[in-house]
Structure 1
Amino acid sequence: MKAVMNIQRVLQLLVMTLLLVACSSERSSDEQWPHSDLSSYAAAFSPDRKYVLVGDTDAPARLWDIENNKVVYSWQNDVDEVGTTTAVGFSADGKVAATSEQDTVVLWEMATGEPMMRLSFPVKIKSLALSQYGDYLLLALYDRTAVYFDVIANRVIRVLEHDGSAVNSPINQLINAVALSPSGKYALTGGDDQTAKLWNLETGEVLRGWKHSNIVNIVAFYPKGGYVLTGAANGQTHFWNMKTGKEQYTLRTSPWPKSMPLPDFPSFQTTTSAFAFSVDNKYLVTGHPSRKLCLWQVANGEKLDCWQATRRQALRPGVVIQAVAFSLDGKAIYSESGNGIGQKWLLK
C-alpha cells in the first residue's frame, strides 16, 4: 500500500512539473529601454499610455516619454537632497502625477512639470491612489491605517483600519494596497490580516471583506464597475462580484484543470505585482515577481498566454514586474521591471 501511495505521489509531482514547465517561456521583447541605472522602487503608466513614471533608487523620479525614450521631467521632494521614491501614481484624467518619498507626497502638474502641492504626514507612506482629478488621495501609512485625504481642504476625511480579528491578532494590521473606484464613492484596501475590504467612503462602512490565504498585496476596481480584483502574496489572485460578494474566478497561471482544486503546493501559488485592463476592458494583463507576464480574458478568467521577461543580467534571476499597460490600440503591452528596464511586447 505504501509503495502504491509513493508511486502516486511521484506521478503527481511529475504531472505538476510538466504543467509548470509548459506554463511559460522566456521571450525577447519587441522593444526595450533602460529607465534606471541601478534599479527602480516603483513605477506607473499614465492613463494615455504615453508615459511611465519610474521611482529610481537613490535618484529623482523620472517621467519617461516611452516611444521617444526620453526623460520629460525629473522630480524629487527636496531639490538639495536626493531620496528614493517609494510610490507613484496618476489621476485618472492624466493631468496630475504623484510621487512619495518617506512621509511626503508631492502632486505634479503633467502639463508643466511644476509641483502643485506638497503634503507631509506624521508617518511613512506605503502606497497611494489618486482620485479622478487628483483632488483626493487614499494613502496606506505605516501606522497601520489608510487615510482618505481631501487635497484642496488639506484634511483627512476618513481613517480606515484592518483589525487583527481575521488572523487572531489583538492589534491592527498593516495595510499594503489601496484603490479608489472610478466614481470616487468606494475604496479598496488590502492588508496583513489576509483580507481585502470594500469601503463606502461617504459613511466609512465596510461593505465587503474577502479573506485570502496570505497577506493581500494588490487591489483594483474593474473600470466598468461591478467587480474588483484582489491578490495575496504567495497565494492567488481573485475576481469578485461587488454586489454579491461572490468570487467570479481565480486567475490560474498554471494549466491545472479548472474542474480540480489547486493543489496546496508552492509552485501553484503566485504573487501578482502589477495589473492593467485593456482600453475596451475585455482583457487583463498581470505582472509577477517571477519576471512573468500573463494575458487573460476578463469575461471568464481564461489565460490566453504567459511568458517571462528576459533578464538584464543572466546571473541575476529575480525580476519583479512593477507596472504594466496596454497600448491604446490594444496591439501591444508595456511593462516596467524593478531592474530598471521598460519593455514593449507586441501581441501576436
Structure 2
Amino acid sequence: MIHNILFKRILPFSVLLASVAGCSVPDTTPVARWQHAEEGAFAADVSADGQYSVVSGVNNGINVWHTNHTKPLYQWSHQGDGSNLVVQVHISSDSRYVVTSDREAFALWSLESGEPIGFWRIDESTIRDVAVSNRGEGILVGRSNGKIMYFEPSSGRRLEFLGHQEKINSIDISPNGKYALSGGNDYMAYLWSTDTGQIIHTFAHGSRVTLVAIDDKGRYAFTTDSTRKSQIWNVQTGAPVSNLKYIARQKIFTDAVFSEDGRYLLTGSPARRMNLWDVESGELVGEWRVAARKNKSPPTAVVYGVGFVGSDKILSESSSGLAELWTLPDD
C-alpha cells in the first residue's frame, strides 16, 4: 500500500559552491570539474540531454545542477530538516521531472519549477530502484520482495508486475511510459507492458542481473549480470545485438545510457571507471577514470550517473561528490 503525503515547498538553494582545484586524476584529465557534494554523494543522475544533474549529497540534501553552473538551481529534501537518506534518483527522458527515493518513500518533482508534485510512502518491502517517464506520467518502483509497481500520479492507477521471483536490482522505463525493463536476483531481465503487465521479451542470464537500461529511441536494451554477460539487445525483436567485450572475469556497472545516434553505450562502474562501447560490435572505444574522494584511503569512487553532452562531451557524477566533464575520442 502507498500513502500520499503532502509536504511544504522547499525553496531554491542559493549558496555558491566553488570548483575543485588541484585534485589529480590518474590516467585521464577532465575538461572541467565541479564540487556538487562536499562530503560525497549517495546517488546521482544525469539528464538525457546532459544539461542537468540531480545529486543526493551526504551532508547537503538533494541538489539540482545545470551543467557548467557553479551553484544549484534547487535544493530538495525528503525528510525536512532530518538527515538525507535518498539513495535513488532518476530524471525523465524529457528532462522535466525527477523521481527520488529512500528505502521507504518516493517523491516526484518538477525540474522546470523546482516544486514537489507528490510524496508517497510504501508499507510493503523496501525500495530498490525507481524510474519516471516523460511528463511525470508514470513511475516505476522496484522492491526487495521481487514486485515492481507501475504508478500514475495523476490518476492513481497502479499495476504490479509479478514476473520476478527474487529481489529487484534495477529498472528502467521508456520515455512514453508504455514499457518497462527490469532485472533481479532471479537471473532474469524482462521487457514488459505497463498497460497489461504482460512480458514482451525475456532476457536470461547466468547470474543475478545487476543493471538494465532502455534506449530512449526504442532501439536497444542493455542488461548485465554479476559475472561475464553484458548484453545489448534489439528491443523490437528481442534478439542479441552484441556482448560487451572485456577481459575481466567480472565487471559491475552502475549506470548506462545510449547515445542519441545509437552508435555508443556509455557506462559507469564502482571502480571509478567510465567506458564507451560500440553498440554493434561490443568493442571498448574509450575509457575515463573519475576522481576519488579527497583524503580517503583507499582512493575510491562509484560512478553514479553518466550522460552525453552535445556531440563531443560526456559528464560523470560520482560518490566523490564531483561532476566531471570529459571529451569524447575522435571518430
Given the two structures, how large is their TM-score scaled by the length of structure 2? 0.85
- Which amino acid is the alignment partner of residue 252 of structure 1? K
Aligned mate of 1:271, from 233, 248, 252: 252
Quote the Cα distance in structure 2 between the aligned partners of 1:115 and 1:42.
19
Deviation (angstroms), 1:132: 1.7
Q: Give % identity.
A: 30
Decide which structure has the larger Cα Rg and report it: 1
User: Do structure 1's residue 210 and structure 2's residue 203 form an aligned pair?
Assistant: yes
**Which residue pairs with 1:249 in the alignment?**
242
| Alpha-carbon contact 1:58-1:84 (below 8 Å) kept | no
Quote the Cα distance in structure 2 between the aligned partners of 1:219 and 1:62.
25
Deviation (angstroms), 1:134: 0.8
SS of the equivalent of 1:133 reads helix
Quote the Cα distance in structure 2 between the aligned partners of 1:91 and 1:108.
10
User: Do structure 1's residue 138 and structure 2's residue 140 form an aligned pair?
Assistant: yes
- Which amino acid is the alignment partner of residue 259 of structure 2? S
Is 222-231 or 66-75 further displaced after alignment? Answer: 222-231
**Bigger helix fraction:** 1
**Which residue pairs with 1:105 in the alignment?**
106
User: Do structure 1's residue 223 and structure 2's residue 216 form an aligned pair?
Assistant: yes
**Which residue pairs with 1:316 in the alignment?**
298
Unaligned runs of 5+ in 2: 1-25
| Alpha-carbon contact 2:273-2:288 (below 8 Å) kept | yes
Is 318-327 or 272-281 further displaced after alignment? Answer: 272-281
CA RMSD of aligned residues (A): 1.9
Quote the Cα distance in structure 2 between the aligned partners of 1:347 and 1:245.
30
- Which amino acid is the alignment partner of residue 249 of structure 1? S
Once the two structures are superposed, residues 84-130 of structure 1 have per-residue CA deviations (whole angstroms, 9 ceiling, x without a partner) of 11111122222211221232212112222111111221143211111
| Alpha-carbon contact 1:57-1:85 (below 8 Å) kept | no
**Which residue pairs with 1:77 in the alignment?**
78
Change (3 A) 1:37 1:310: closer
Quote the Cα distance in structure 2 between the aligned partners of 1:286 and 1:81.
33
Change (3 A) 1:243 1:331: closer
User: Do structure 1's residue 180 and structure 2's residue 173 form an aligned pair?
Assistant: yes
Quote the Cα distance in structure 1 between the aligned partners of 2:110 and 2:235.
33
- Which amino acid is the alignment partner of residue 43 of structure 1? A
Quote the Cα distance in structure 2 between the aligned partners of 1:77 and 1:235.
37
| Alpha-carbon contact 1:326-1:332 (below 8 Å) kept | yes
- Which amino acid is the alignment partner of residue 250 of structure 1? N
Given the two structures, how large is their TM-score scaled by the length of structure 1? 0.81
Is 108-117 or 314-323 further displaced after alignment? Answer: 314-323
**Which residue pairs with 2:158 in the alignment?**
156
**Which residue pairs with 2:309 in the alignment?**
327
Deviation (angstroms), 1:180: 1.3
Unaligned runs of 5+ in 1: 1-24, 164-172, 255-266
Quote the Cα distance in structure 1 between the aligned partners of 2:155 and 2:291.
46
Once the two structures are superposed, residues 296-339 of structure 1 have per-residue CA deviations (whole angstroms, 9 ceiling, x without a partner) of 222332321223224334732332111101112x1111011112
Is 234-243 or 93-102 further displaced after alignment? Answer: 234-243
Change (3 A) 1:65 1:224: closer
Change (3 A) 1:134 1:234: same
Is 125-134 or 94-103 further displaced after alignment? Answer: 94-103
